[in-house]
Structures are given as C-alpha cells and as structure tokens.
Amino acid sequence: MIFGRRHIISTKDFSREEIDFILDRAERLEPYARKGGLDLLKDKVVATLFFEPSTRTRLSFDTAIKRLGGDTIGFDSAESTSVVKGETLSDTIRIIESYADAIVIRHPREGAARMASEVSSVPVINAGDGAGHHPTQTLLDLYTMRKECRKPLGDLNVAIVGDLRYGRTVHSLAYALSLYGASLSLVSPEPLRMPESIINYLRKHGVTLVETPRIEDALGQADVLYMTRIQKERFPDPSEYLRVAGSYRITPDTLESVGNDMIIMHPLPRVNEIDPGVDSTRHARYFQQAFYGVPIRMAVLSLVMGKEI
C-alpha cells in the first residue's frame, strides 16, 4: 500500500483497508514509541504549525518525530508568527514547505488543512481544523478500541457522549466507525446533536444508530463509552454553553450497571465529565488512549515519508 507523499486530511479519504494498514503499522511501532531506537526519520525535519493551543496532539507529534529520529521546527501559537502581521496561511505554507519534509498543522478554521495540502509540495497532516477533522485522533481512537476491547471493531456498540455538534473528534470517529459497521449510540443535549449531514451519511452507510439525550439509555449495551468535553470555546453564544454545560458526568456510581468489559475513552482534556474516582476503575482507558497517539503518529509520519519498517 502506497502512502508516500500523501496528505492526511480526513479519515473520509481512507478506505477501511488503508486504516487497518496504518493500525497494523502502529502496532509494530508501539515498542519503539515507549523507548525510541529507530532512525526512520533521520535527517528529516517535520514542521508542527499549531495556530491554536494543543497539549496532547502537539506533544505526541513531537514525541513521535523524535522517537523516529527526526527533528522538528514550528510554533505553538499564532501570536508568535507572521500571522499577526497579516500573513496568509497559504504564504506560511509556501515558506515552510521549503524548510521541512512534512507539515503538521492545527488551525482554527475548517478546511485549513485541505487548503494547505493544495499549496504544499510536502505531505500535510491535519492535526485538527476548527470543528472539522482530526484524523490522527480518530486513528488512535480506533487503535485504542482495537487494543483494549475484546471484540472486533465491527461488533462494538460505541456510545459517543457530549458535544456532538462542535466536536471534530466525534465527527471523524463516526465516519470511521461506519466503515467497520459498528453500532453507534449518540448521546447529546438537543442543541449539541450530531449534524444532520453526518447522521444522513451514517444512515446511508447502514450504521445502526440511536440518538438520545439520556446517557442511561446507552450505558447498558455500550462496549465503549466515548466521553467528550462540552467545548466552551466553540459556542458562539456563551449563554447557550451555560444551558448545556455539565449535562453528563460519569462517576464510579454511574458505572455500577455497565458490563465488566466496557471501556471509557475521552480525547482529553476533561473538565468535569469524568470524576477522578473513575480513573482507578477497570473501565478507564483515556490515559492509555493518549499514549496510543504516539505509535499512531509514528505510523502516519513514517508512511507519508515513504519509510518502510
């Protein structure tokens, strides 16, 4: 399978076979994600352009690059760049492509990474574009489910809970799970329902789907409880945020009725939707999930740069 010089913009650009190929490669790279020892990206420079704050994504990309023996350049906020002087993203990309062998970009506007890929001669990896896509997050989510659940992805019942309207991670995840035939329970307050266009896409692709505002309706049959933060920064109207903030909170008590094998995931950061008391239960997987970002990003970086292992 050829990934060399390919842009990674949306999981929708990939077939199930291609996603499986990436997950398989991540599996092979996982031991090196913990202790390094590879030089697949020796003499390679990867630019990480974060126009928006990020902790896990940026640091896990940095770690992945370093574990592969590569170097990084870049920035973690637009304030320290020529953007404040009015430089366009297109110009920034045209300049950076001459410095780096690949570009990782996070940007607050939807479609920014797609546009960057049209301008760039080196591979562009989307690390989140507004409320749009975050494909490497989706890949690590799938990887977590594959590693931590006892069933194949296609047999899972995944309850996705929280901000389904603005949450880019859940949009990409829903698309990707539809490739495997997993069942979905979409749990959200009415104003934060999954966008109609995505619901239509899922239905068109035969996904078994339940929409409910009550988490209790989904907990019993869920194999995966995928919690998300209700993102204050995405709300155009703060009063709208206050109406739905704190709608869902998982505590050890909430988990009394769930199956033994049910796992809880979260793209993090969490605010108060998962009580710290849950961390020590058999269900918590969100910290493990955050670690899996490293082998996944190692897999993606090595693939787009045409490196075999």
Partner 1 sequence: MNVSDRELRVKPINNGTVIDHIESGQALNVLKILGIGSHSKTVVSLLMNVPSGAMGAKDVVKVEGRELDPEEVDTIALISPRATINIIRNYEVAEKFRVGMPRKVVGIIKCGNPNCISNSNEPVSSKFMVESADPVLLRCSYCEFVLDKNIADNLL
Q: Is residue 134 at the binding interface for partner 1, with CB under 8 A as the rule? A: no
| Mutual angle of helices 16-35 and 56-67, in 10-degree steps | 80
Which stretch, 21-29, 87-95, 265-273, 292-300, contacts partner 1 (CB under 8 A)?
A: 87-95
Determine the size of the site formed for partner 1 (CB under 8 A).
18
| Mutual angle of helices 112-119 and 89-96, in 10-degree steps | 50
Q: Is residue 90 at the binding interface for partner 1, with CB under 8 A as the rule? A: yes
Q: Is residue 293 at the binding interface for partner 1, with CB under 8 A as the rule? A: no
Q: Between residues 90 and 257, which has the closer beta carbon with respect to partner 1?
A: 90
Residue 276: is the preceding peptide bond cis (ω within 30°)? no
Q: Is residue 239 at the binding interface for partner 1, with CB under 8 A as the rule? A: no
Q: Is residue 107 at the binding interface for partner 1, with CB under 8 A as the rule? A: yes
Q: Is residue 114 at the binding interface for partner 1, with CB under 8 A as the rule? A: yes
Q: How far apart (Å, rounded) are the C-alpha atoms in residues 241 and 234?
A: 9
Annotated ligand binding at 108? The verdict is no
Residue 206's Cβ-count burial label (10 Å; 0-12, 13-18, 19+) is exposed
Specify whether 11 is catalytic.
no
Specify whether 66 is catalytic.
no
Q: Is residue 83 at the binding interface for partner 1, with CB under 8 A as the rule? A: no
Residues within window 3-32 making contact with partner 1, judged by CB under 8 A: 10
Q: Is 229 helix (H, G, I), strand (E, B) or coil?
A: coil
In sequence order, the 6+-apart residues with CB closer than 8 A to the CB of 160 are 170, 173, 174, 184, 185, 186, 187, 226, 228
Q: Is 96 helix (H, G, I), strand (E, B) or coil?
A: helix
Annotated ligand binding at 288? The verdict is no
Q: Is residue 219 at the binding interface for partner 1, with CB under 8 A as the rule? A: no
Annotated ligand binding at 106? The verdict is yes
Q: Is residue 70 at the binding interface for partner 1, with CB under 8 A as the rule? A: no
Q: Between residues 111 and 252, which has the closer beta carbon with respect to partner 1?
A: 111
Annotated ligand binding at 146? The verdict is no
Specify whether 133 is catalytic.
no
CA angle 50, 175, 168 (to 5 degrees): 30
CA angle 145, 8, 161 (to 5 degrees): 40
- The single residue of 11, 57, 136, 228 carrying the catalytic annotation is 57
Which stretch, 19-27, 29-37, 61-69, 84-92, contacts partner 1 (CB under 8 A)?
A: 84-92
Specify whether 57 is catalytic.
yes
Residues within window 160-179 making contact with partner 1, judged by CB under 8 A: none
In sequence order, the 6+-apart residues with CB closer than 8 A to the CB of 38 are 29, 32, 67, 68, 69, 298, 309
C-alpha to C-alpha distances, 91 to 83, 96, 171, 207, 275, nearest whole angstrom: 10, 9, 29, 41, 44
Contact residues: partner 1, CB under 8 A? 10, 88-90, 107-112, 114-115, 118, 129-132, 197
Give the annotated binding-site residues: 56-57, 85, 106, 134, 137, 168, 229, 268-269
Query: Which residues are known to be catalytic?
Result: 56-57, 85, 106, 134
